[in-house]
Amino acid sequence: MGWYANLRIRDRLLSGYAVVVILSCIIGYYGISGMKDLKAFLDDTHDNLIHSIVAATDADHHSQQHKREFLRYLLSPDKKDRQEIFARLKREDVQMKDALSALEKMPLLPKEREMLSNIRTAWSAYLEAAGRVMAVSDEKKDANVAEMERLQVTPLFKEFEDINRQMRSFNVEESDEHYANGGRTYKQLSFWMIALSIVVTIASFAIAVLITRSVTAPLSKGLEMVQALAKGGEEKARLTEAIANGDLSLNMTLSEPLKIDAAGLSDDESGRLLKSVVGMSEVQFSLDRAFARMTESLRRSRDEEQGRDWLKTGLNELNSLMRGEQKTSEVAEKVLTFLSGYLKAGAGAFYMYDDKGQTLVLTATYAFTRRKNLSDRFRLGEGLIGQAALEKKMICLSNVPPDYLRIGSALGEAVPQNIVALPLLHNDQLVAAMELGAFKAFDDKELDFLNQAMEGIAIGLGVAYSRQRIDELLEQTQQQTEELRVQQEELQQTNEELEERAEMLEQQRKQIQAKNREIETASAELRLKADDIEKVSAYKSEFLANMSHELRTPLNSMMILSNLLMENKEGNLTDKQKEFASTINSAGKDLLGLINDILDLSKVEAGRLELIYEDIPVSEFRGTIEDIFMQQAEQKGLEFSVVVQDSVPEKIRLDEQRTRQILKNLLSNAFKFTEKGSVVLKISTYSATENPLGVPAVAFRVKDTGIGIEKNKHGLVFQAFQQADGTTSRKFGGTGLGLSISLQLARRMGGDITLESERGKGSVFTLYLPLAGDIGNANIPFTGLPIFPSPLRGEGEGGGVQQRRLHPPLPPLPSREGNTIGKNELPVVTTEMSRPLQDDRDRLRRGDKSILIIEDDLNFAKTLMVMVREKGFGCIVAADGTSGIHLADIYQPSAVILDVMLPGIDGWGVMRSLKDNPATRHIPVHFITCLDERQKGMSMGAVGFFTKPVTPGQLEEVFGNIEKSVAKTMRRLLIVEDNKAEAEGMTGLLQDRNLEISVAATGREAIDVLSRNPIDCIVLDIGLPDMSGFDLLEHIHNSEDLRSIPVIIHTGRDLSHEEELKLQHYAKSIIIKGAKGPERLLNEVTLFLHMVENELPREKQQMIRASIDKEAMLEGKKVLLVDDDMRNVFSLSSILTDKNMIIVEAENGKDALTKISEHPDVNVVLMDIMMPEMDGYEAIRNIRIDPRFKDLPVIAMTAKAMAGDQEKCIQAGANDYISKPLDMEKLLSLLRVWLYRQA
């Protein structure tokens, strides 16, 4: 293109511009043509499809609105409202038809026309069906309009909706297809426009480049060469000035000589310019090389000087950081932070050396992220840091693996390239170790700095550790001094309180001694009277027995002779004489029966009656009774039957002879006093709550239609030689011994006889006998003949039948002081005990079914007494706390109703006295008081608590609770404990024949047990695997049926003050598992279950006593205290001496062996572990070698709290373990536990 190069610049520019304009015109014409076609296509889519969709949508809207107004029309009961709704229906119908007409006017496709026709048809059908339903609704001919709407209108409306929806869908699909076609057209047009534009642009650019390069290329090349030389000169001038000022950080850039072929350059102005520039570049290159060599020499000198300054500065700053009073952890933190920043390390860790454990312990970190598989402790030789500590020299690692360590930040993380581990040594002894990681390699200067800093850091740590140890010892000394001062003040205060209590106790002792003398005097008199009565009773029994035997001999002869006369074998007697002989024989038989009755009476009274129990088939026993009395019933014309209920077992355990004797007496009386009607014997069984015996029983019920007995003579018929009709003109004969002997025989067999009768309405005698037969009552002594009855139910004022339980009179008994009181015996009640109301105490025996009311409001007490009697209980009333305690101890009532605001001892004091007394702690107590202290009362073991004034319904609930407590013989306890061994231990501790124990290992199991079985008490561990103990308590608290169950918390962890407050909201009492736990747990469970302490095994009784009396277990016991710290010895000695313990001190294990040999009567040893000469482990092992001390309790004490210390102590022979600082309550509890077990 030589011709183009010869053109002028103006000609080149004009030719290029003309080509660009022609190409642009071609692109414009093609674009305008394509836009016209696209607009026509969019207009067609808008005019046809969009308007059709809008019209169909309007039709759907009006149809939905019409349907809603139609439903409102059907639901509206008001005629006026229906007229308004009907008008709106018309409007909607018109608008619907307008929408369809507008749609029909549009240019539609054939398929759209068909759909529009279907829409009109469906809408007309819908309107017709709707009109029918509306007409029916207006006329109210059909009550089921809603069903008509559902069956007739809804399907048609749905058909209309479906067709309308299809048409809209069809329009949308057509619109989508038009849209897709338009998009394709637009894309084609755009593609060609863009393609042509690109072509034109490329062509224009190529023309411009060609023209520009042909003009500017030679000039630009020359200009660039000149500017490069000028810029290089400026930079070299600045560099020269900087080096002259001492800045050697800049490097001289060597300029390369220009590589241009001079022969190829033109001879015009631009060619000559380029040749000159090439010559200048060669001169500049030579000057640059000389200047660079000079700069490098100066820089080496400067770097050596800066390295020496950097090393000194770092050491000085490091030393200044470690000055002052600092803890070792603070020094470690500062040193690690400084070194990490000074050496540009990305992460670091600082480890202090534990000389005892010979391990490196992580103390401080810098940008260090802990990982699960890494420990905070390293033994010597373990890991990189442990190896550096073992070798006592620095270890450097390069090219660290990716999984070794990662240094992270908020923006990311990366792997360090180098790790250095260095030990810190002082006098060649390891003090600590440090590990640093960096992204760069540590150079020689930095490693030299670390070597020089190692010893200085070790010295600083040693100084800080010594200072820290001094501060700790000083603080410990000050703390112990303050504790001693507080303890001295507490001891002084305690001594003053003890002196006051001693004075009060001395006064009480004098009063008790005076009362005891009075009681002893009365007791002596009573013993004399009792001896006299016993002698008289023995004389009477002996006389009756002897006289009965003496009478039998002549009576026997008389009956034989009279029988011979009756036979009249010789035939020499007249009929009158034979009648006389028969009368004599009959009188002799009656006399023999009387003598037999007297003999039975004397045997029972003398306690010589022997009972023989055996399993008796009920069917045979029934047949025997029928055989005996059936003939007698036929002779008197009476109906007689023996009825056996289905609940009666096939065999019952009885003394058949005595049972038959009682029934013969009862049935004989029934036949004797019944002229017409019937006599029925009914045999049935009753549960413990359904009979007066309180145990499962068999009942023999004898019912007749005879003359009956007046209610004021019910007790009289059971007295010896007495009848209901005792006049000289009585119609029925008899000695009156039969019922008396029957009652005594029944009681001898552990049973009882009740009477229900009314004059002229017959009688019902019921014999109750224990279903188990000989349950231990066979040796109950005879208590005398009954003189008067005691009511089993209240004395009603009407003429209704009254059931009574009959008891013998109360014999005078000796005092409680120095004498044993029998099961049903009563001590003498002194005259000092007032009787505020006329209660039933004179008719009650110890343990009878009764309720004690302790209430100073006599009007309220009288009301309660009436209700108590109506419930079938005997009633005792006390108006003060002292009398109430005494009466509860004497009569052993079934329950106590207690007020708090009492004269003398208040209700709280009464409650404590009852629960601390083994004889009364099982008695259920129900509070009725003015105070709102329910939590306090329930936590003391009450079965209920009501605040005055009380309603009749609440009083009924009180008696309901009492009756349930009295009737319940089997208690149920739920233990919620996930530790199987702990649960088994508690079960073994609490097991009793009257206690059923269930165990749940999780909260869910506990909830399941509570939902299935009634529970009387819960023992709960707070730490459960599936839920918190608080969640279970919340479940119990929210349940109306479970809320009244007492809950005892038995947990294995220490409770915070907040947790105890939260637990007290739910639980009756809190027990901490561990020291003293078994005794306290047993005490609380027996308290809340109202278990009779005297019926528990002796060892459990001792545990409960030990739980109540905590100090008695420690008093007088000798303890060997072994500790090398005299401050600890002084503190412990002061506390234990205050508990009246005898202290033997030893300062180390060796001294302990000497002291225990001098005092072999030591009861317990408190042994420190870390001591000089001989440590606690060795001392315990030596003690166990001596056979005398193989069972001696040894409790280990140590300041170490490392894992495994407890196992080491136990392996050495210790019985238990406690960590310092000592918890004195825990230590005292441990002492009580082990002293109790030793005892």
Sheet of 850-854, strand order: 874-878, 850-854, 895-898, 925-929, 944-947
Q: Is the dihedral of CA 591, 597, 599, 601 positive or negative?
A: negative
Q: In 10 A of CB 795, how many CB atoms?
A: 10
Higher pLDDT, 1207 or 774: 1207
What structural domains and CATH numbers belong to the chain? 4-217 (1.20.120.30), 322-442 (3.30.450.40), 609-805 (3.30.565.10), 829-967 (3.40.50.2300), 969-1093 (3.40.50.2300), 1118-1238 (3.40.50.2300)
- DSSP strand pairing (874-878 vs 850-854): parallel
Q: What is the pLDDT of residues 64-91, one digit of tens each?
A: 777 777 777 777 777 777 778 888 878 8
φ/ψ of residue 800, rounded to 5: -70, 170
**pLDDT recorded at residue 319:** 80
1231 contact partners, CB below 8 Å, separation of at least 6: 1113, 1114, 1117, 1119, 1164, 1195
**For 403, which DSSP code?**
T
Cβ pair 752, 744 in contact under 8 A: no
Q: What is the pLDDT of residues 33-42, one digit of tens each?
A: 777 777 666 6
Q: What is the pLDDT of residues 915-953, one digit of tens each?
A: 878 788 888 898 988 777 777 787 778 888 887 767 777
Q: SS3 sequence, 747-762?
A: HHCCCEEEEEECCCCC
658 contact partners, CB below 8 Å, separation of at least 6: 611, 745, 748, 749
Cβ-in-10-Å burial (0-12, 13-18, 19+) of 325 comes to: exposed
Q: 274 by DSSP, 3-state: which?
A: helix
Cβ pair 814, 527 in contact under 8 A: yes
Residue 142, pLDDT above cutoff 60: no
Written as six digits, the tokens of 196 are 């042509």
Residue 828, pLDDT above cutoff 70: no
Report for 582-596, 899-913, 1169-1183: range of highest mean pLDDT:
1169-1183
Higher pLDDT, 507 or 10: 507
Cα–Cα distance measured from residue 100 to residue 119, given in angstroms and rounded to the nearest whole number: 9
pTM of the entire predicted model: 0.31
Cβ pair 810, 797 in contact under 8 A: no
Cα–Cα distance measured from residue 1146 to residue 1156, given in angstroms and rounded to the nearest whole number: 9
Q: What is the pLDDT of residues 288-328, one digit of tens each?
A: 777 777 777 777 777 777 777 788 888 888 888 887 778 88
**pLDDT recorded at residue 801:** 33
Instruction: List strand residue ranges (DSSP E) for 1147-1205, in order.
Output: 1164-1168, 1194-1198
Cβ pair 353, 490 in contact under 8 A: no
| DSSP code per residue over 411-478 | S-EE--SEEEEEEEEETTEEEEEEEEEESS---HHHHHHHHHHHHHHHHHHHHHHHHHHHHHHHHHHH
Amino acid of residue 598:
I
Q: What percent of the chain has pLDDT over 70?
A: 73
**pLDDT recorded at residue 1134:** 77
Written as six digits, the tokens of 434 are 């440090």
Phi-psi region of 568 (alpha: psi -120 to 50; beta: other; left: phi over 0): left
**Stretch 837-843: mean pLDDT, rounded?**
87
Which of 193-202, 659-668, 713-722, 831-840 bottoms out in mean pLDDT, i.e. has the lowest?
Answer: 713-722
Q: What is the pLDDT of residues 968-995, one digit of tens each?
A: 777 888 888 888 878 888 888 778 777 8
Cα–Cα distance measured from residue 1166 to residue 1175, given in angstroms and rounded to the nearest whole number: 13
Which of 150-159, 298-307, 1011-1020 bottoms out in mean pLDDT, i.e. has the lowest?
Answer: 298-307
Q: How confident is the model at residue 60 (pLDDT cuts 50, 70, 90)?
A: confident
Instruction: List strand residue ranges (DSSP E) for 1138-1208, in order.
Output: 1142-1146, 1164-1168, 1194-1198
Higher pLDDT, 1017 or 51: 1017
Higher pLDDT, 110 or 761: 761
165 contact partners, CB below 8 Å, separation of at least 6: 60
Higher pLDDT, 1134 or 1007: 1007
**pLDDT recorded at residue 372:** 47
Q: In 10 A of CB 566, how many CB atoms?
A: 17
Q: How confident is the model at residue 584 (pLDDT cuts 50, 70, 90)?
A: confident
**Stretch 636-649: mean pLDDT, rounded?**
90
Q: How confident is the model at residue 156 (pLDDT cuts 50, 70, 90)?
A: confident
Cβ pair 915, 1087 in contact under 8 A: yes
**pLDDT recorded at residue 1069:** 41
φ/ψ of residue 1217, rounded to 5: -150, 140
pLDDT, the chain, mean? 75
**pLDDT recorded at residue 795:** 34
**pLDDT recorded at residue 643:** 92
Amino acid of residue 1135:
I
Cα–Cα distance measured from residue 290 to residue 285, given in angstroms and rounded to the nearest whole number: 9
